Structure 1
Amino acid sequence: MLPRRSYCRPMATPTLPLTTGTPAAAPASPRAHTARTLPVFVLSALLATGQMYVPIPLFTAMKADWNVGSGVMTWIISAFAFGYAGGFVLFGPLSDRYGHRKVLMTGMLVASVVTLLTGLAFSAPVAVGLRVVQGLVVGSIPPAIMAYVATRIAPAHRAVVTMSIATSFLAATVIAQIVSQAVVASFPWRTVFLASAVVFAVLAFALRRVMLDDAPTGRDLPLRHSYAAIPAVFRLLPLVPMLVAGAMSMAVMVGIYTGLELTGVVTGAGELLTLRAGALPVMLVLPLLAVPLARLSKHNQIALGVVIAASAMIVATFEGSHVAVLTILLAVMVGGLGVIAPAVLQSAGELGGESRAAAMSVAMFSFYVGATVGPLVAAAAAPHGFSALAWTLAALLVGALAMTVLGLALQRRERATA
C-alpha cells in the first residue's frame, strides 16, 4: 500500500488545505474489492449521466405530445445539465461529511422517484422543471462514486478504475441515445423514463451490497466546513484553466449530438443509429489506454485529446454529408474527448487532498456547465447548417487548447517560484 499522501502530489503545485474535518492522521481506509465494485459503478455512471441524453431521440415524439417547437426540446437537455452541475457542488461535499455510501444510495433512490415523475410530466414546462430537479438529485451520484474510488480502491487499480468510470460517463452520451431510440421505436416515449426509474432502484440495492461501510467523518463540525473546500479549489490556479477546457469539451460533446438531431443532416433511424453506435468501439478501448496515457502529464493528455477532437471536427465541416465518413469522424472526436475528462478528474482529485469529493465536484460541475451550453450552441448554429455547427464546435475546442496551454504556463510559473 502506498503512503497516504504519495498519490496526492503528482504536480509541483502544492495541495491546498481543503479539509472538511477529516483528521489528517486517520488510518488508511480498508480497500474495496475492485472486481465486484467496478461493474456496479460503471452501470450507475451510465444510468446517471445517460439521463441527460435519453430525450434526444425522443424529441419528435415529445414535441408531438406537447405541441411545442424544437427550441423547447433543447431546454429539456439544458435543464437537466443545469441541475446536474448544481448537484455536484451541493452533494459532493456532503458525501465527504456523511459518507460516500450513504449519499450514493440515497441519491439513487430519490433519483428513482424523480425520474418516475419526469416520465409522467403532462406538459413541456412541467417537464423542464422536473428535469432541473432530476439533474440536481442525480448530480449526487458521480462525486460520491469518484471520491469512493479515490479513497477505497487500491492505488494500483485506481487509474484503470477512474478511466473506466470516466469513460462510462462519456459512453452514456451514445449508449443512452441508442437505448432510447430502440425503446421509442416500439413503446411510448415515457417508457424510457419509467424504465430508468426502476433501474435506479435496482442499482441502489446493488451498491448497498458491494460498497464498504462509510468511514468516520467530521460530522461534529459545522456544516459550513463541508463547503469550505469549494472556493479553495479555485485557488489552485493551474487547475482552473483545465476546468474551463473540460467545460468547453463537454459543450462540444453534447452540442454535436444535439445538432445532429436539429440540423437533419441525417434523417433515417438506421443512419442515426449508425452514427451513435460508431463511437462505442472507441469508448471500449479508452480504459485500455489508461496506463500508456499515464506516462504523459495531465496537461499533455488534455492537449492530445483536444487536438484529436478538433481535427475531427474541422474535417467534418467538409465531409459532414457522407454518413460513413461522419461516423468515423465522430468516433475519433469522442476518442479525443474521452482522454480529456479523466485527466481533469484525476488532477482535481490529486490536488483536493482530504476533500477529494469537493474538488471532483467542482471538476464535474465545470463539465456540465459546458453541457448546459452545448444544446444552446447547437440550437443557434443548426439553422445555418451542419458545416456551421462543426466550425463552431471546432472553435470551442481551439479555445480549450488555449486554456490547456495557459494552465501549463501557470504550473511552470509556480514551479519556478516554489
Structure 2
Amino acid sequence: MNSNPHPCHATLLLVQMTLCAVAVVSQLYIPIPIMARLAEDYGLPPELLELSLIAFSLCYATGFLVFGPLSDRFGRRLVLALGLVALSIVSIAMSVVSSPEPFIAMRALQGFVAASFPPVAIAYLSERGHARQRAWGVAWLSTGFLIAGLLGQLYGGVVAGAWGFGKAMIPLIAIYLITAAMILAAPKGGQGEGALMPLLAIYRPVFRLLADPLLRRVYVPALLLLMTFVAFYVGLDSRLHESQGSALDPLAARAIALPGLFAPLAVAAVIQRWGAQRVASSGLAVAALGLFLVAMSGDQGLLWLLAASVIFVAGVGISVPGLIAFTSTRAPASARGLAVALYTFVLFLGASLGPWIARLGGAWGNTTLFLVLAACLAAVAAYSATGKGHAAR
C-alpha cells in the first residue's frame, strides 16, 4: 500500500531530495570547467585527466545496476540513506588525496556510490503518496537531474575553481547527510520496503523486463535521449568556437536553454490526463523538431540557433519524466528498482556515447550531424508512440 505522508513533511522531503538530486548528479559535471586546475593540483597528465572522467562515468552507470535491484530487496530508504552516507565519506576522502592514482581511484568509487541515489530515489518517490504527489515527485526529481548539467558546471567553475576540488565537496556533503537523515526520519511505506528475496533472485526479472515490448519503448528512446543531448552541446560548442564574431560563452548558451529544463514541472500538471506514454512520445517529437530547427539555423544566425536549442531542451525535459513514470508504473513492484535502474543505466550509457558520436559526425559538419540526430529522435518518437499499453495514471 502506498504511504500518504503529511503534506508539509512530504513537501520538505521532496525539496530536499530535489536539491540532493542536483548535488549528486553535479558530480559528473563539476570537473569539466576546472580540468586545468585538476591537472595541476593532482599532477594528472592529459591521458590520466581523461581517465578520471571515464572512471567516474563508467562506475556511475554500473552502480545503477547494483543499487536499484538492492533497493528491491532491502528497501528504498535504507539503500538511499546508506548510499548518501557512503558518498559523503568518499567525498571527504577526496580532500586528502593529492596524487594521480588515488584521485582516479576515489573518483571511480565516488561515481559508484553516487549511483545509489538516482534510480532508488525515482522508485522511492514513485511509490509515495497519491497519484498527483507521485507525478510531482518524479517531475521535480527529473528537473533536478537535468539542471545539474548546467549548475554542476557553474559550481565547478565558480566554487571548485576558487576553493579546489576537495574543499568544494564540503557543501555537497552537508546536503547528502541532511537528505539521508530526512529520509530515515520519513514514515515507512511504499512498495519495496523490506521485500526480502535471495540476492541473485533480484536480477532474475531482467530478461522479462527487456522482453516487455512496452518497456523496450522506454529503454530504446532513453539510450538516444541523452546521447543526442550531449552530442548537441558538443556540436554547439564547436559551432560557437567556429563563429569568430560570436562573443557568446558556452555556459551562457546553456543558461539560455535553462527554462527548457523546467519542462518536467509542466508535465506533472498533465501527465495524469494524457498518460506517461503519450507524454514521452510527444517530448521526443518536440526534441526532434528542435534539433531539426537547429540544423536549419545555419543561415539564420545565432538567435535562431539559441531559440531552437530551447525547443530541443524542452523536448528532452518533457520526455524524461514521461519515460520515468511509464517505467515505474509498467514494472511490477517487486522489480521496480531494477526496471528504473535499467532505465538510468541506458540513459547515462547514451550520455557517455554522446561525445564519441559528436566526434564521429565531425567530418560531416554540424548541420548534417544535427539532421541525423533529429532523424534518430523522430524515429524513436514514432516507436514510442506505437505501443498498445495503457498510459500511466
Q: TM-score range by the shorter chain?
A: 0.7 to 0.9
- Say which of 224, 227, 233 aligns to 2:200: 224
User: What's the counterpart of residue 70 of structure 2?
Assistant: 94
3-state SS of the aligned residue for 1:245?
A: helix
* Cα drift, residue 146 of structure 1: 1.6
1:186 is matched with 162
CA 1:239–1:61: 2 relative to 1, 3 Å: same
Distance 2:225 2:68 in 1: 22
Report 1:35-114 matches (<5 A). 35-65=11-41, 66=43, 68-69=45-46, 75-114=51-90
Find the counterpart in structure 1 of residue 150 from structure 2: 174
What is the percent sequence identity of the aligned residues?
A: 23
State whether residues 281 and 385 of structure 2, in contact with CA within 8 Å, keep that contact through their aligned partners in structure 1.
Answer: no
Given the alignment, which residue of 212, 216, 223 partners 2:187? 212
Offset from partner CA, 1:130-149 (integer Å, 9 cap, x none)? 33322221111122212221
**1:59/1:258 CA distance change after superposition, 3 Å:** farther
Larger deviation: 357-366 or 264-273? 264-273
Give the aligned residue type for 2:288. Answer: A
Tell me by how many angstroms 1:44 deviates. Answer: 1.5
Q: Alpha-carbon deviations, 1:251-299, whole Å to 9, x = none?
A: 1223334555677628999723322322322333530332235443544
**In the alignment, which residue of structure 2 is the partner of 1:4?**
none
Q: What CA deviation, in whole Å up to 9, does each residue of 1:21-76 have, x standing for no partner? A: xxxxxxx243234312210111121112121122222233334554544x765554
Q: Name the counterpart of 1:310.
A: 288
Cα distance change on mapping 1:293 and 1:155 into 2, 3 Å? closer
Residue equivalent to 1:278? 256
Q: What is the rounded CA distance, in whole Å, between the counterparts of 2:132 and 2:271 in structure 1?
A: 15
Following superposition, the deviation at residue 122 of structure 1 comes to: 4.1
Does 1:32 pair with 2:9?
no
Report the AA paired with residue 338 of structure 1: G
C-alpha distance in structure 2 between counterparts of 1:175 and 1:371, whole Å: 17
Range moving further from structure 2, 34-43 or 151-160? 151-160
Q: Partner of 1:247 in structure 2? A: 223
Partners of 2:303 and 2:54 in 1: CA distance: 29
Counterparts of 2:247 and 2:91, CA distance in 1: 26
Question: Which amino acid is 1:366 matched to?
Answer: V
Instruction: Classify the secondary structure of the residue corresponding to 1:342.
Output: helix
1:93–1:226 contact (8 Å) kept in structure 2: yes
Look up the equivalent residue of 2:71 and give its one-letter code.
Answer: S
TM-score by length of 2: 0.84
Which sections of structure 2, spanning at least 5 residues, go unmatched? none
Kept after mapping to 2: 8 A contact 1:31/1:154:
yes
AA aligned to 2:203 is Y
**Which 10-residue stretch deviates more, 132-141 or 281-290?**
281-290
Cα 1:390–1:135 change in 2 (3 A) is: farther
Which structure 1 segments of 5+ residues have no match?
Answer: 1-27
What is the 5 A alignment of 1:15-414? 28-33=1-6, 34-65=10-41, 66=43, 68-69=45-46, 75-118=51-94, 122=98, 126-209=102-185, 211-213=186-188, 217-219=194-196, 221-258=197-234, 265=241, 271-317=249-295, 319=297, 324-354=303-333, 355-381=335-361, 388-389=365-366, 391-409=368-386, 411-412=387-388
Aligned residues: 380
Once residues 51 and 255 of structure 2 are traced to their aligned partners in structure 1, the CA distance between those partners, rounded to angstroms, is: 25
Which protein has greater RCO, CA pairs closer than 8 Å, 6+ apart?
A: 1
Measure how far apart 1:102 and its partner are: 0.8
Amino acid at match of 2:5: A
The whole-number CA distance in structure 1 between the counterparts of 2:30 and 2:295 is 26
